Amino acid sequence: MTKKLRVDQLVDPAGAVVHVRHEAAGQIDEAAFDLSGFPRVDPMLVGRTTAEVPQLVTRLCGLCPVTHHLAAMRALDDLAGIAVPPRAQAVRSLLHHGSVLDTLAPKLLFTHRELAVELKRFGKQVLKAAGCPGHFPDVAVPGGVNNDADTSLVDVAVLADLRERAADLPGLAAPAFDGAADVYLCDENGAWDPLGAFFVVVAGETREIRPVVEFPERVRESRPGATSPRPEVLLGEDWLPYRVGPAARVTSGDRFGVADSLDGVAAALEKLGGPADAPGTESHARDADSHARDARASESTPGDADAALRAGGDHDDVVKRAGRGVGLVDGPRGLLAHVFDVDAEGRLTGCWILTPTAQNEPWLAAMLTDAARSGAGEEGMEQAIRTADPCLPCSSAPPGAMHVEVATMEPGEKE
């Protein structure tokens, strides 16, 4: 039997829909970005086993598969109560920063074309060195990583050149989010760390650092289960809207944080004993000697080498238990949270995934509302969307080529 499917509408990858709601008197009440094409994926994992999670999460988002991969593995680490060995953590860090460079490079294509092409090529090189030669990663496992990194694949001269050129990229110029907080991952001292064990909440002069495991208790959705959940974070006794990403952590580098991730690649290579500095330097020779010692140790004592890359034993022993696991990663667009509730058979009874796009939607709505009220039109709305950088194809459209459709809504009309 043959079926015929009729396609009546083409989806515009560069298209973005903005809903503008008016008050009864005709004034603009609010403008909001349409996230209907960005459905919640949490329910897809409920009922699945933790053994299925590693493969499933990498397919949740074609734009950020590595970030989902690492967030899920960190949640399983937490579920099992495992401390990932330092070397395995460095491999994960290399994977993360390579992914960020690979993701962000196209955003520079229309302003710094040559640099964008080289960053893309280098990001792929770093991903391969971390054990991810293709688009979907299979690097991290509960308690560590599958294999050691091959730092010889990273071109040291290119890294040095890119770090120097990234320092000249334009600085961040993002509108403030009044009455709201900024949230990002950090170390115990509050310094930004995309794989940190803490998160910091900042609003004005108030600043709180909390362990990652407290995230589900200190963040709530004001619209539970909605595509636009409008999350809030607890700071002191107040629940505040908040934003995440480069604007939240006030990066001292470029617009998207490319310089930060190039520095991250260098730091990961140094921890791995790889070529973080140019060949011929004293530091490079020292690191090369260290890398050689690690390789010899791996050949002679495979048990010790395995312990440096993974803790916790087999998968079933690690995550087939009841409890909650919380995993956060500060990815290219900001904080991504995976929270898993698991029964004694290792099956997910609950799943909460909070994306950077969902967390930044209130900030984007505020910028869109300002653009609509000021008469900035579609150009101003496009700029607001680029600033918030939602995880949708429209964010990668050439300047001026994002097709913003404004849908006017009357008082009481639902989106």
The string of pLDDT tens digits covering residues 333-367 is 999 999 999 999 999 999 999 999 999 999 999 99
User: How far is the C-alpha of 31 from the C-alpha of 377, rounded, in Å?
Assistant: 12
Of 388, 389, 390, 368, whose CA–CA distance to 379 is shortest? 368
| Contact call for residues 82 and 263 (beta carbons, < 8 A) | no
Residue 57, pLDDT score: 81
Of 191, 183, 211, 190, whose CA–CA distance to 358 is shortest? 183
Of 41, 39, 19, 20, whose CA–CA distance to 29 is shortest? 20
Residue 304, pLDDT score: 65
The string of pLDDT tens digits covering residues 50-60 is 888 877 887 67
Long-range contacts of 57-63 (CB under 8 A, 24+ apart): 57/338, 58/136, 58/137, 58/138, 59/136, 60/353, 61/355, 61/391, 62/135, 63/103, 63/391
The string of pLDDT tens digits covering residues 75-112 is 999 998 989 999 999 999 999 999 999 999 988 888 89
Residue 287, pLDDT score: 42
The string of pLDDT tens digits covering residues 284-307 is 333 434 433 343 333 334 456 677
**Strand 231-235's sheet: what is its strand order?**
206-211, 198-203, 181-186, 238-243, 231-235, 219-221
Of 163, 172, 63, whose CA–CA distance to 122 is shortest? 163
Residue 109, pLDDT score: 87
Binding site residue list for Fe cation: 64, 394
Residue 5, pLDDT score: 42
Going by pLDDT thresholds of 50, 70 and 90, the confidence category of residue 175 is confident
Q: Which of 86-100, 160-174, 220-234, 306-320 has the lowest mean pLDDT?
A: 306-320
User: Who wins on pLDDT, 48 or 1?
Assistant: 48
Q: Which of 4-13, 144-153, 216-225, 251-260 has the lowest mean pLDDT?
A: 4-13
Residue 170, pLDDT score: 79
Q: What interhelical angle do 86-104 and 113-129 show, nearest 10?
A: 150
User: Who wins on pLDDT, 411 or 151?
Assistant: 151
260: alpha, beta or left, given left = phi > 0 and alpha = psi -120 to 50?
A: alpha
Residue 43, pLDDT score: 87
Residue 61, pLDDT score: 61
Q: Which of 59-73, 126-140, 143-157, 346-360 has the lowest mean pLDDT?
A: 59-73
Mean pLDDT of 323-332: 95
Of 127, 128, 119, whose CA–CA distance to 101 is shortest? 119
In this predicted structure, the answer to whether residue 32 has a pLDDT above a threshold of 50 is: yes
| % of the chain with per-residue pLDDT over 90 | 55
The string of pLDDT tens digits covering residues 239-294 is 999 999 988 987 544 567 899 999 999 999 999 986 544 333 333 333 434 433 34
- What's the Rg (C-alpha) of the chain? 22
Q: What is the pTM of this model?
A: 0.86
User: How far is the C-alpha of 306 from the C-alpha of 146, rounded, in Å?
Assistant: 9
The string of pLDDT tens digits covering residues 395-413 is 878 888 888 888 887 666 6
In this predicted structure, the answer to whether residue 7 has a pLDDT above a threshold of 80 is: no
Average pLDDT over all residues of the chain? 84
Residue 354 in 3-state DSSP? Answer: strand
Residue 252, pLDDT score: 46
Binding site residue list for Ni(2+): 61, 64, 391
Mean pLDDT of 208-212: 98
User: How far is the C-alpha of 3 from the C-alpha of 8, rounded, in Å?
Assistant: 16
Residue 285, pLDDT score: 35
| Contact call for residues 350 and 234 (beta carbons, < 8 A) | no
Mean pLDDT of 366-374: 94
Going by pLDDT thresholds of 50, 70 and 90, the confidence category of residue 14 is low
Give the DSSP per-residue string, 200-245: EEEETTEEEEEEGGGHHHHEEESSTT-SS--EEEEETTEEEEEE-S
Which phi and psi (to 5°) does residue 328 adopt? Answer: -125, 145
Going by pLDDT thresholds of 50, 70 and 90, the confidence category of residue 194 is very high
Binding site residue list: 61, 64, 353, 391, 394
Binding site residue list for Mg(2+): 353
Residue 162 in 3-state DSSP? Answer: helix
Q: Which residues contact 221 (CB under 8 A, 6 or more apart)?
A: 229, 230, 231, 232, 354
What separation in angstroms does the CA of 106 have from each of 16, 52, 359, 389, 405? 19, 32, 23, 13, 24
Going by pLDDT thresholds of 50, 70 and 90, the confidence category of residue 13 is low
In this predicted structure, the answer to whether residue 172 has a pLDDT above a threshold of 80 is: no
